[in-house]
Amino acid sequence: MPHPIPCRLAALLLFTTLATPPGASAREPGSPDEAWRLMAGLRFSEARAIFPARADAPDLDRLGRALSLLGAQPKTESNINQAEQILADLASGATDPDVVVRAALLHARIPHVHRQSTDWTEAARRYLAVYEAHPEHPLGQRALVRHGIVTLFRPMPPEEFASLFESYLAVSAALDHPDALRDLNWLLASVHERRLFDPAATLRHLEVLLAGSSPIREITRLGLLVQAGELARELGDPAKAARYYREFLATTIRDSRVYFIRQRLAEMEASS
């Protein structure tokens, strides 16, 4: 069974945490494992100097080199082009299935977040292709969510959006990995809030998101709790609103919104 690749994809920085591959010594200077550690500290240029540039290097090392090229500053078209070629090669020819899908997702992200001008059409095509090739892999499923991100918010007539959204809901109903479901409900909450202006549907997806098992950063979760509480209050459900407000207060005492949320609760209790 292939060992896990030491990275977690993130929205803008490619990944936020890294782990050392099993059986390797992270203390050996100049080793690929040291390069992964450097990238964990966002030291991409130093990592790039360590990862081998050879086309016959191990797949994991080539993936690391592509990541270091994408993260190195200043960003250059040459680095992006090199990374894109490496990722395309890995996505089609790596021996480790996990490397294949991670490379494919990173390759799909290039026209979305790395080029000077976003190519929405190409990004949508690549994300959908990743999902269609790897529909049961957690990252393949998350690629379908990213496909929704780049398609569902572009300007279009209401009739076209309604048809597109219906089709997307039908396809996304197959998602079952907790991380993909977390991302999907976040996306659908945003669509109902910003595109369909449906607060009740927005709240339903936020409730599923907050009740899920996949991790959400605390600062993000706090914002979602406030949003859910405000929506519940506006929809005339003070008990539900109070529950989210109290969870917010139980989670933090330093957030700048604590005073505001305490006032909200006091007003609700005074009017009940």
Percent of the chain with pLDDT over 70: 89
pLDDT category, 28, cuts 50, 70, 90? low
Using alpha carbons, select from 237, 217, 218 the residue that is nearest to residue 228: 237
Q: For the residues 154-180, what does the mean pLDDT come to?
A: 96
- Name the one residue in this structure whose structure tokens are 């016959």: 56
State the CB neighbour count (10 A cutoff) for residue 62: 23
pLDDT value, residue 271: 86
In this predicted structure, the answer to whether residue 203 has a pLDDT above a threshold of 60 is yes
In this predicted structure, the answer to whether residue 9 has a pLDDT above a threshold of 80 is no
- Name the one residue in this structure whose structure tokens are 């966002």: 42
Q: For the residues 151-175, what does the mean pLDDT come to?
A: 96
Host domain of residue 84: 1-18+29-118
Cis peptide before 111 (omega within 30 of 0): no
In a domain, 68, yes or no: yes
Apex CA 229: angle with CA 226 and CA 232, to 5°?
150
Amino acid identity, position 139 = L
State the CB neighbour count (10 A cutoff) for residue 30: 9
pLDDT value, residue 31: 86
Q: For the residues 243-248, what does the mean pLDDT come to?
A: 97
Rounded to two decimals, what is the model's pTM? Answer: 0.86
Q: Do 54 and 66 form a contact (C-beta atoms < 8 A)?
A: no
The token duo for 272 is 């009940």
In this predicted structure, the answer to whether residue 10 has a pLDDT above a threshold of 60 is no
Q: Where does residue 24 rank: exposed (0-12), middle (13-18), buried (19+ CB within 10 A)?
A: middle
In a domain, 63, yes or no: yes
Q: Do 228 and 244 form a contact (C-beta atoms < 8 A)?
A: yes
In this predicted structure, the answer to whether residue 21 has a pLDDT above a threshold of 50 is no
**To the nearest whole number, what is the mean pLDDT of the chain?**
89
In a domain, 227, yes or no: no
pLDDT value, residue 186: 96
pLDDT value, residue 216: 94
Amino acid identity, position 239 = A
Taking the C-alpha atoms of residue 76 and residue 69, their distance in angstroms, rounded to an integer, is 9
Q: Which residues contact 154 (CB under 8 A, 6 or more apart)?
A: 120
Chain segment 128-150, per-residue pLDDT in tens: 999 999 999 999 999 999 999 99
Using alpha carbons, select from 253, 68, 252 the residue that is nearest to residue 60: 68
pLDDT category, 20, cuts 50, 70, 90? very low
Q: What is the DSSP string of 231-253?
A: HHHHTT-HHHHHHHHHHHHHH-S
In a domain, 184, yes or no: no
In a domain, 186, yes or no: no
Task: Count structural domains, the chain.
Answer: 1
Taking the C-alpha atoms of residue 32 and residue 46, their distance in angstroms, rounded to an integer, is 11
Q: For the residues 199-207, what does the mean pLDDT come to?
A: 98
pLDDT value, residue 108: 97
In a domain, 189, yes or no: no
In a domain, 194, yes or no: no
Mapped onto helix, strand or coil, the DSSP state of residue 10 is strand
57-to-53, 62, 65, 69, 241 alpha-carbon distances in Å: 7, 6, 10, 16, 55
pLDDT value, residue 136: 97
In a domain, 108, yes or no: yes
Q: For the residues 31-52, what does the mean pLDDT come to?
A: 91
**Using CA of residue 8, residue 14, residue 20, residue 23, what is the dihedral sign?**
positive
Amino acid identity, position 45 = S
pLDDT value, residue 70: 95
Q: For the residues 45-74, what does the mean pLDDT come to?
A: 93
